[in-house]
Amino acid sequence: MLGLAPGGWAATNPLYGMASKLTYKEAGVDTEQAAALVGEIKTHVQRTQKQRQLMGAFGLFAAAFELKGYREPVIVTGCDGVGTKLEVLLEYDRIEDAGKDLVAMSVNDILTTGGDPLMFLDYIGLAKLDDALVTRLVLKNDRAMEYVHLKDLRGSGTEPVNVLSGYRWQDGFGYYEVTRDTASHFFIDRLPAGTHVFESSVRVQHAGTYQTGVAEIRCMYAPEFNAHSGSVELTAEP
């Protein structure tokens, strides 16, 4: 409820007039940096719209979809939540899987009505944007392996974000991750056959052009089973 005191609301509210003196950036919201992030993830968003294209919705807070090809279409809505599984994901540091589960549960609810899932709106909320990069190692092995050592050499000009060693769990197997000065090490007791993704974050220290590190993997008791990745050029701009 808003009351009007003698002399007017403006005279009694110390915050009145501050809006013209305070910018978004000064308030902690860098709109230019946010717009740059939106541009960087554009290709990833387009990858999810290969079959069905939303109408100019990228970067906005609403979306439109043309219902052509449907006779007398009926809109079916779905709403679900992750539930208590969120506690398990937080416990094992796999919070990114919450989004996958949320989409799957909502899509499944729509399928039970005979509906055709068309789109899922998503929103990225961050407390602060920084210059951290995510390095992603994609490992493919055609057979199960035991006692595996994976070493990820960091690129020049970068420093690790997470420096704490510890046991991690993902995709049905566990490993111990150790962060050293020049590389991150992953020690795996048993690696199932399949495709596995290992991610870690680094922060660029200085602008310039660098070479990324090379990842190496080998069986500790059978070193003849080994492989390594290539190196690519990394350009950091101020």
Residue tagged 């056959």 (tokens): 193
Q: Which helix (H) or strand (E) holds 47?
A: helix 42-47
Model confidence pLDDT, tens digit, residues 111-130: 999 988 887 777 766 666 66
Residue 147 has pLDDT above 90, yes or no: yes
147/132: higher pLDDT = 147
Q: Answer yes or no: are the C-beta atoms of 214 and 156 closer than 8 Å.
A: no
Q: Distance between CA 179 and CA 161 in Å, rounded?
A: 10
Q: Tell me the domains of the chain and their CATH numbers.
A: 8-127 (no CATH), 132-236 (2.60.40.690)
Average pLDDT, the chain: 77
Distance CA 140, CA 213 (A): 19
C-alpha–C-alpha distance, residues 97 and 106, integer Å:
14
Question: Region 63-85: what's the mean pLDDT?
Answer: 82
User: Would the pLDDT of 148 be above 90?
Assistant: yes
Average pLDDT, stretch 85-100?
76
Report the distance separating Cα 130 and Cα 119, nearest Å.
Answer: 30
Predicted confidence at residue 9, as pLDDT, reads: 44
pTM score of the predicted model: 0.48
Both tokens of 68, joined, read: 């052509």
The percentage of residues in the chain with a pLDDT greater than 70, rounded to a whole number, is: 82
Q: Which amino acid is at 195?
A: T
pLDDT tens track for 179-190: 887 888 999 999
Give the burial class of 191: count Cβ atoms within 10 A of its Cβ; 0-12 exposed, 13-18 middle, 19 or more buried: buried
56 has a pLDDT exceeding 50: yes
Mean pLDDT of 34-63: 71
Q: Is the pLDDT of residue 61 over 80?
A: no
